[in-house]
Amino acid sequence: MSIIDLEGIYTAYEGGSEPVIRDLSLMVDRGEYVVVGGPNSAGKTTLLESINGLVKITHGRASVCGLDVRRLGPEVRRRVGYVIQNFYFDPFTPFTAREVVMMGRFGRLGLLSRPKESDYDAVQRAISLVGIEDLAHKTIGTLSGGQQQKVMIAHNIAKESEVMMLDEPFSNLDFQAREFLQDVFKRMVQQGIPVLMVAHAFDGLPDIPIHLVVMNRGRIICDLSCQAEEVEEIIRDECGVEGRC
Ligand SMILES: Nc1ncnc2c1ncn2[C@@H]1O[C@H](COP(=O)(O)OP(=O)(O)O)[C@@H](O)[C@H]1O
Ligand SMILES: [Mg+2]
């Protein structure tokens, strides 16, 4: 069974009169690296939020990690890592980066248990993997946008999710940091964890087969397998020079 299996789904936001996603089907298997592209407002973020049950699926069938998303959203969210787009921590948020990474363990721990040795180990591993040892003791709200993105990536790695979803996670990072983190995701994929990444810049993609999904107006207009260096051209062909479909 595919780890993500969407069949003919429609999703609508609270109070929205029109469905944002229309008749969308998608299958993702273990060990796939999925790049989601398409113009602004195409529905890319809404697709990720449909997968983890954050928006209402009004029609169709959605199964993630073998769970029915329409009934078991909270359990799906415990199993799926999700780095959201354009988040921002208030400068006075009273947590250090290390504490924010530890919060990635709370789904396993429950809020009232003390972290165990294995939780501290997972947090330390995530911090070194992402290369943020020097930020760990700093207050999250005092970090730059790019540093906060790295902390949230480490938070989701510490979660040891079965699926990793990232929504434009590199928007504030330079090429070197992007390339470094892409290598981290490549290794996750090689360990069997599927990665779904919404992206705008396609340089520095890992040299592994890419499952490319292009969206426009709430639908998938292109769903194929290709090489990293073909991604940009396919999206340009599908969407035109301006990146508009
Ligand atoms: N919370 C919301 N409530 C109502 N409509 C929304 C909400 N978020 C997004 N939309 C609408 O859904 C459509 C798809 O948005 P989104 O998924 O954010 O696109 P993308 O991530 O591709 O830029 C847009 O038309 C947007 O205006
Ligand atoms: Mg978006």
57-88 residue pLDDT tens:
999 999 999 999 999 999 999 999 999 998 88
Residue 204: pLDDT above 70? yes
Instruction: Measure the CA–CA gap between 51 and 6, rounded to whole angstroms.
Output: 8
pLDDT band at 127 (very low <50, low <70, confident <90, very high): very high
Residue 225 has a CB neighbour count (10 Å cut-off) of 10
Residue 243: pLDDT above 80? no
Whole-number Å distance, alpha carbon 119 to ligand 2 midpoint, is 32
Among residues 18, 13, 55, 50, the alpha carbon closest in space to that of 220 is found at 50
Q: Is the CB of 113 under 6 A from ligand 1?
A: no
Whole-number Å distance, alpha carbon 94 to ligand 2 midpoint, is 28
Sign of CA dihedral 204, 207, 208, 210: positive
Residue written as token pair 């490319």: 212
- Cβ contact 182:151 at 8 Å: no
Closest residue by Cα to atom 25, ligand 1, is 41
Q: Is the CB of 42 under 6 A from ligand 1?
A: yes
- Quote the pLDDT of residue 114: 87
Q: Is the CB of 16 under 6 A from ligand 1?
A: yes
From the CA of 215, which ligand is nearest?
Answer: 1
Q: Is the CB of 102 under 6 A from ligand 1?
A: no
Please give the structure tokens belonging to residue 49: 């939020």
- Quote the pLDDT of residue 200: 86
For residues 100-129, give the mean pLDDT.
Answer: 90
Whole-number Å distance, alpha carbon 124 to ligand 2 midpoint, is 30
Domains by residue range for the chain, with CATH: 4-239 (3.40.50.300)
Give the nearest ligand 1 atom to 167 CA. Answer: 21
For residues 139-149, give the mean pLDDT.
Answer: 94
Chain CA centroid to CA 10, Å: 20
Residue 244: pLDDT above 60? no
Instruction: Measure the CA–CA gap between 206 and 229, rounded to whole angstroms.
Output: 9
Whole-number Å distance, alpha carbon 44 to ligand 1 midpoint, is 8
Task: Among 18, 41, 50, 167, name the best residue to mutate to test ligand 1's pocket (greatest count of ligand atoms within 8 A of Cβ).
Answer: 41
Residue 242: pLDDT above 70? no
Q: What is the pLDDT of residues 12-60, one digit of tens each?
A: 888 878 899 999 999 999 999 999 999 999 999 999 999 999 999 999 9
Whole-number Å distance, alpha carbon 19 to ligand 1 midpoint, is 10
Residue 145: pLDDT above 70? yes
Residue 224: pLDDT above 80? yes
Burial of 176-185, coded b for 16+ CB within 10 Å and e otherwise, reads ebbeebbebb
